[in-house]
């Protein structure tokens, strides 16, 4: 049985700042050697050349080593950064760490569990095709097993990071006589995310194995729990499975739902309820009461160019890419629900939730005593 999980969200004061993680370790809240995953937002452009992800990654790994974690183990910790804090979204990191059995709050109810795996190497010519789907699905199954989850229904959030195509990897494929799905590197971000989400959906039994022609085209095929990011810093699928299991103990529980469109606040509230937080019929952010640790969302501009029946110009805008516009919009909607701008909102949600919407996962603190979630300032 896996260990119980402690999960905390910390702000980033600068792009290279990991001081708040250091404070948690110094205060005895977390043990550096027990950190198992970090998922966060950095303030870069969110594009192919967003190097803020690499800067933040280095800062967090360095402080873990400084605080006593073995360097060889720290190199293997999945740290997934989503670049771009457009609008009110605030840079932050959510840290997952195991808790010794004698310190874990005991509970017979389902509580948070985390599992991690890496896929086989993904070749550039596989990105966007069924070999990538198969490799991702295999890694998700391994991560589930490590999390102690046997029923896919107990999986509520699968965060991945996969390679996208760069000029270098496209050239490499061509040198071996191979072709790639696209030679547009920015487009390959959407492609890698979407193909990965199909792999998650296959592993969890949400869909049957798709065909190559389904990728990026058949938007009826999607996962309700996949949150997929891509970048230049790896050549494998990095998979973090987050769900609930009985017997692990701990304070935290996760739930999920989907947003049907960019304004669907009810989808966010549904995820918070699914995690186990009691809410009134018409909830307000004051009802959260410091029990919400974080929410994790993917979003996408609807391909029909409309939200709630009204036309928008995001997909036609040549000045500001739609990635940044929809991220800013959904970030604002989400912060208005939670009362906290430090929310994980990531763009490029092909095959992640319904078209024009996206999946939502919420982690809440159901433990005894003072809750560990964020309380916005008053007055």
Cα 253 to Cα 364: distance, rounded to the nearest angstrom: 6
CB of 362 closer than 8 Å to CB of 271: yes
| Nearest CA among 231, 224, 23 for reference residue 127 | 231
Is 161 part of the annotated catalytic residue set?
A: yes
Given the residues 227, 229, 328, 346, the one annotated as active site: 229
Catalytic residue status for 33: no
Helices (H) and strands (E) in the chain, counts: 8, 14
Q: How far apart are CA 119 and CA 140, in angstroms?
A: 8
In the set 9, 41, 67, 161, the catalytic residue is: 161
Q: Which residues contact 23 (CB under 8 A, 6 or more apart)?
A: none
**Residue 196 and residue 100: Cα distance in Å, rounded?**
33
C-alpha 333/C-alpha 335 separation (Å) is 6
Q: What is the DSSP string of 147-165?
A: TT--SGGGEEEEEEEEE--
Q: How many residues does the chain have?
A: 379
CA 314, 320, 323, 327 dihedral sign is negative
By annotation, the residues acting in catalysis are 161, 229
């Amino acid at each position: 049985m896996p260990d119980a999980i402690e999960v905390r969200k910390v702000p980033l004061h600068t792009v290279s700042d990991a001081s708040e993680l250091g404070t948690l370790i110094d205060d005895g809240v977390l043990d550096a050697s027990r950190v198992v995953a970090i998922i966060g937002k950095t303030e870069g452009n969110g594009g192919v050349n967003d190097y803020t992800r690499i800067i933040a990654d280095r800062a967090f790994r360095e402080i873990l080593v400084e605080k006593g974690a073995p360097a060889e183990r720290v190199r293997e910790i999945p740290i997934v950064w989503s670049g771009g804090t457009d609008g009110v979204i605030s840079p932050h990191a959510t840290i997952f760490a195991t808790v010794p059995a004698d310190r874990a709050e005991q509970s017979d109810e389902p509580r948070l569990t985390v599992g991690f795996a890496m896929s086989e190497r993904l070749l550039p010519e596989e990105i966007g095709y069924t070999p990538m789907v198969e490799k991702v699905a295999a890694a998700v199954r391994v991560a589930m097993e490590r999390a102690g989850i046997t029923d896919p229904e107990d999986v509520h959030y699968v965060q991945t990071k996969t390679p996208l195509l760069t000029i270098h990897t496209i050239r490499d494929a061509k040198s071996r006589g191979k072709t790639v799905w696209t030679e547009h590197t920015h487009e390959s971000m959407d492609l890698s995310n979407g193909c990965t989400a199909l792999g998650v959906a296959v592993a969890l039994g949400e869909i049957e194995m798709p065909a190559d022609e389904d990728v990026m085209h058949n938007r009826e095929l999607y996962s309700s729990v996949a949150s997929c990011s891509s970048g230049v810093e790896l050549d494998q699928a990095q998979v973090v499975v987050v769900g609930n299991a009985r017997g692990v103990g701990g304070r935290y529980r996760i739930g999920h739902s989907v947003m049907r469109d960019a304004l669907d606040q009810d989808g966010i509230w549904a995820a918070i309820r699914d995690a186990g937080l009691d809410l009134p019929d018409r909830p307000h952010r004051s009802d959260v009461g410091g029990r919400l640790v974080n929410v994790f969302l993917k979003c996408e501009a609807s391909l029909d160019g409309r939200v709630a029946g009204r036309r928008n110009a995001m997909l036609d805008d040549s000045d500001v890419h739609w990635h940044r516009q929809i991220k800013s919009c959904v970030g604002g909607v989400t912060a208005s629900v939670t009362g906290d701008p430090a929310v994980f909102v990531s763009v490029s949600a092909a095959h992640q939730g319904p078209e024009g919407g996206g999946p939502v996962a919420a982690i809440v603190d159901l433990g005894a005593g003072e809750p560990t979630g964020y309380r916005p300032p008053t007055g």
